[in-house]
Amino acid sequence: MGISLSNKEFNNILDELKKEYKIYAPKLFKGKGRFSDTDLVRYDEISSIEEIEFGKKSYYSPKEVLLPITQTLFYFTEDKVIEPEIDHKKTLVFLRSCDIHAVKRLDEIYLENGVEDPYYKRRREKMKFILMECEKSFENCFCASMGTNETDDYSLFVKSEGDRVFLDIKDKEFSSYFDTGVETEVFPNFVKENKIEVNIPENLDIDIFKSLMWKEYTSRCIGCGRCNTVCGTCSCFSMQDIFYKDNERTGERRRVWASCQIDGYSEVAGGFDFRSDQGDRMRFKVMHKIYDFNKRFGYQMCVGCGRCDDACPEYISFSNCVNKLNEKVKEGK
């Protein structure tokens, strides 16, 4: 079913929904961009349609709603451990098709690879998707190549046009909220092609791990890890214990986002690092996204959102790297 309603009507319903849900969407932060006088689009809680940035790709992916940058696992006092209180509110997240596909990848790691992760599960169970459409492909996107440009895995589809909001309600749970509005046909448009096309080489094997092509990144990559933090499918974390200055016998254990591009990721006690070269780290990341994950789980990890390319301060392009890899494989190098 599709309906259209005014922004004001929609905002009133958002207020109703907010009693039960925390609602997250990409929001524009004026002047908060990396460069002077640039803006930043990132996820935050919203309470009106006007706050949502529909027209730009968010710098960070929505994964921080599910996987906070730092998350307290438990508190410790002397020899007791105590779990943090649970937030009982459900969450609604505005996100694009590629990002919905990215959540499936996170599910694979956190719910299917070994035992379930309880912290992830309790957030994931309470999370529902509101699809945002992409009117056109953004810079660096290659979702069509990754097959993530379309999805039907959403509760609501919301489209903003001037002072009216158009909705497709797929999830019955929300029907009761939207009893006003004019019935109309509403379908999401999906991007069919991108300017960038990525060809993942077929018949990839372990030999490509030793290819000299990775050496290029040894000198180019500065190991800042931005590509990992903006990625919707990067799911690694490190454990971190902190303690309170006023009482050193109490503190908390947290997990924080980790990056395979940053020093320390593969270093064991005693100082031995299994991957100290940036070229090897690039190879590790790229091969995970387009080979290793697929080998283990049966589909590609990368969803083609292109955020890694948007974020790289050294203008290293992931899509370009994969295409280069394809050429190398064709040439037999």
Partner 1 sequence: MNNNVYLPFKSKILDIKPHTDIDYTFRMEFEGDVKPGQFFEISIPKYGEAPISVSEIGENYVDLTIRKVGKVTDVIHTFFPGQNLFMRGPYGNGFDVDLFKEKELIVAAGGTGLAPVKAVVDYFVDNKDEVKDITVVCGFKSPSDILFRDDFKKWKDEIKTILTVDNGEEGYTGNVGLITEYIKNIKIENIEEANVIVVGPPMMLKFTLQELLNRGIKEENIWVSYERKMCCGIGKCGHCKINDTYVCLDGPVFNYTKAMKLID
**Does 269 interact with partner 1 (rule: CB under 8 A)?**
yes
Rounded-to-integer distance, Cα 273 and Cα 270, Å: 9
39: DSSP letter: -
Q: Kindly determine how many residues on this chain lie close enough to bind partner 1 according to the rule CB under 8 A.
A: 53
Q: Compute, in degrees rounded to 10, the torsion defined by CA atoms 226, 228, 232, 233.
A: 170
Q: Compute, in degrees rounded to 10, the torsion defined by CA atoms 245, 248, 254, 258.
A: 70
Choose one: 11-19, 54-62, 89-97, 266-274; the region binding partner 1 (CB under 8 A): 266-274
Asked if residue 63 lies in contact with residue 100, where contact means CB atoms within 8 angstroms, the answer is: no
**Does 109 interact with partner 1 (rule: CB under 8 A)?**
yes
Asked if residue 325 lies in contact with residue 79, where contact means CB atoms within 8 angstroms, the answer is: no
Residues 168-207 that bind partner 1 (CB under 8 A): 206
- Exactly one of 30, 88, 210, 245 binds partner 1 (CB under 8 A); that residue is 210
Whole-number minimum distance, CB 164 to partner 1, in Å? Answer: 43
Structure tokens, 83: 């779990």
- Exactly one of 19, 88, 114, 246 binds partner 1 (CB under 8 A); that residue is 114
In the complex with partner 1, the residue whose CB is nearer, 156 or 287, is: 287
Q: CB-side exposure of 25: number of CA atoms within 13 Å?
A: 22
85: DSSP letter: P
Structure tokens, 145: 């190549």
Residues 45-84 that bind partner 1 (CB under 8 A): 73-74, 76, 79, 81, 83
In the complex with partner 1, the residue whose CB is nearer, 138 or 214, is: 214
In the complex with partner 1, the residue whose CB is nearer, 20 or 292, is: 292
The site map against partner 1 for 117-136 (x = CB under 8 A) is xxx--x--------------
In the complex with partner 1, the residue whose CB is nearer, 189 or 247, is: 247
Rounded-to-integer distance, Cα 75 and Cα 146, Å: 41
Q: In what order do the strands lie in the sheet with 247-257?
A: 80-82, 70-77, 247-257, 237-244
| Residue positions counted in the chain | 333
Structure tokens, 318: 């992931």
- Exactly one of 57, 63, 159, 255 binds partner 1 (CB under 8 A); that residue is 255
Closest CA to 27 of 116, 172, 132: 132
Give the 3-state secondary structure of residue 140. Answer: coil
Whole-number minimum distance, CB 29 to partner 1, in Å? Answer: 29
Residues 270-299 that bind partner 1 (CB under 8 A): 270, 272, 274-275, 280, 284, 287-288, 291-293, 295-296
Rounded-to-integer distance, Cα 230 and Cα 250, Å: 33
The site map against partner 1 for 211-250 (x = CB under 8 A) is ------------------------xxxxxxxxx----x--
In the complex with partner 1, the residue whose CB is nearer, 37 or 205, is: 205
Closest CA to 44 of 77, 238, 32: 32
What is the binding site for partner 1 (CB under 8 A)? 73-74, 76, 79, 81, 83, 86, 109-110, 113-119, 122, 206, 209-210, 235-243, 248, 251, 253, 255, 258, 260, 265-270, 272, 274-275, 280, 284, 287-288, 291-293, 295-296
